Amino acid sequence: MVKKEELPACPVATTVQLIGTKWKLLILRNLLERPWRFNELHKSLEGISQKVLTDSLRSMEADGIIIRTVFPEVPPRVEYSLSKLGESMRPILDAMEEWGENYKANYFQ
């Protein structure tokens, strides 16, 4: 987890630091729907490597954005879901979705 002193002074830069990569945003998009297992996420994110997905999930977990739940089954089942903090990003992603839809509708007719 990033320490408060390590965060940029600008709040926008802080947000970008935490979720500003292409893959983290797409992971968030998926997790807003429901909890996902690793292989489901990997298959749904065309072009992401297992290493990048693993690193992104670990980083987001360390930052408190997602929760990793291990179920005591054989074989073990692991699910990723949004934490309360991650869920608070819903309006941001909703606004990005709306902006993207408007952009495509108005500039690519």
CATH number for position 75? 1.10.10.10
Query: Structure tokens of 62?
Result: 């360390």
Segment 11-37, tens digit of pLDDT = 888 888 888 888 999 999 999 999 999
Eight-state DSSP code of residue 63: T
First to last CA, the chain: 44
Segment 46-83, tens digit of pLDDT = 999 999 999 999 999 999 999 999 999 888 899 999 99
Supply the pLDDT for residue 20. Answer: 85
Containing structural domain, residue 11 = 4-107
- pTM of the predicted protein model: 0.87
pLDDT at 107 over 90: no
pLDDT at 109 over 70: no
Say how far apart CA 109 and CA 105 lie, in whole Å: 6
What letters, b where the CB count within 10 A reaches 16 and e where it falls short, cover 20-38? eeebbebbbebbeeeebeb
| Total tally of structural domains belonging to the chain | 1
